[in-house]
Each structure stands twice: as C-alpha cells, then as structure tokens.
Amino acid sequence: MLATAGTSVRAASLRQIPNKGNLNILIDGIGTGLDLPHLSLCHYYIGLDLATAMLSRAKLRIGNLRLKLVQGDCIPLPFAQECFDHVVLHLILAIVPNPIAFTRSRTRSETGRKRTDTRQVSQTR
C-alpha cells in the first residue's frame, strides 16, 4: 500500500528527465528503488544510499537498467562536481538537516556536459 502511494506523482516527476541520450543521473537516497520502474533504459544511473538494507532491496528492482548502487553518506555528496546531468531527490529533502544547502550542492553536481557513462563518475571518498 505505502509502496504504491504517490506512484503517479513519482512517475510524473521522473518524466521530466529526457527519454533519449546517454545521460548520467544520480538517484540520491535511492531507498528501496521505487523510482526504478519509471526510469528510461537509455541513461546511466548511480543510486546512492546510506543504508545497505535499502540498497539490497533496490538491487531487486534494477532489471535491465545501467545502474550502479553506491553505499555512502550523501552529505557531502561523495562525487566530483559536475558529474551528473540530472539528480533525483525524491523524499530526501525532508530528512536532511539543511535542505537549501543540500539542494545547492546537488545543482553544483549537475552539468550540461555529456559523459560517456557513469563509470567515469569519480567518487571523492
């Protein structure tokens, strides 16, 4: 029941991501991976979460997506600046201590430049 609540809102949010190209996309605080069924197969994804239990559940939803799961703290973001074309922030802003600084740091991680795939995204810790 809870897993399906807000599904249409989630889907509408993710439709803002272009459905062509080879974009690098960060799913920040991926949780159990409820976003994954709504993602286009054409992009490269990194799913970041603090909790290994969440990542284990997200793994079951990867299917054919080109998605790498990373366990880690997203404060500060453990990737170099300008790594991602888009950052998905679903249900995470409400639980971080400083949502404004958090959002700004995500904007710095976004870039208009296209990279080949997320294997080139460098982790800073």
Ligand X SMILES: C[S@@+](CC[C@H](N)C(=O)[O-])C[C@H]1O[C@@H](n2cnc3c(N)ncnc32)[C@H](O)[C@@H]1O
- Exactly one of 47, 92, 109, 118 binds ligand X (CB under 6 A); that residue is 92
Closest CA to 89 of 43, 49, 42: 49
List the structure tokens of 100: 């404004």
Task: Specify the stretch interacting with ligand X by CB under 6 A; choose among 18-26, 84-92, 101-109, 112-120.
Answer: 84-92
**55 torsion bin: left (phi>0), alpha (psi -120 to 50), beta (else):** alpha
Determine, following the binding rule CB under 6 A, whether residue 77 of this chain makes contact with ligand X.
no
Determine, following the binding rule CB under 6 A, whether residue 121 of this chain makes contact with ligand X.
no
Per-residue contact flags (x/-) with ligand X for residues 16 to 55, judged by CB under 6 A = -------------xxx--x-------------xxxx--x-
How many whole angstroms separate alpha carbon 44 and alpha carbon 29?
A: 16
Determine, following the binding rule CB under 6 A, whether residue 60 of this chain makes contact with ligand X.
no
With vertex at residue 19, the alpha carbon angle to CA 102 and CA 79, rounded to the nearest 5 degrees, is: 30
Determine, following the binding rule CB under 6 A, whether residue 68 of this chain makes contact with ligand X.
no
- Exactly one of 42, 75, 80, 101 binds ligand X (CB under 6 A); that residue is 75
Whether 44 and 117 have beta carbons less than 8 Å apart is answered as yes
Site for ligand X, rule CB under 6 A: 29-31, 34, 48-51, 54, 73-75, 90-92, 95
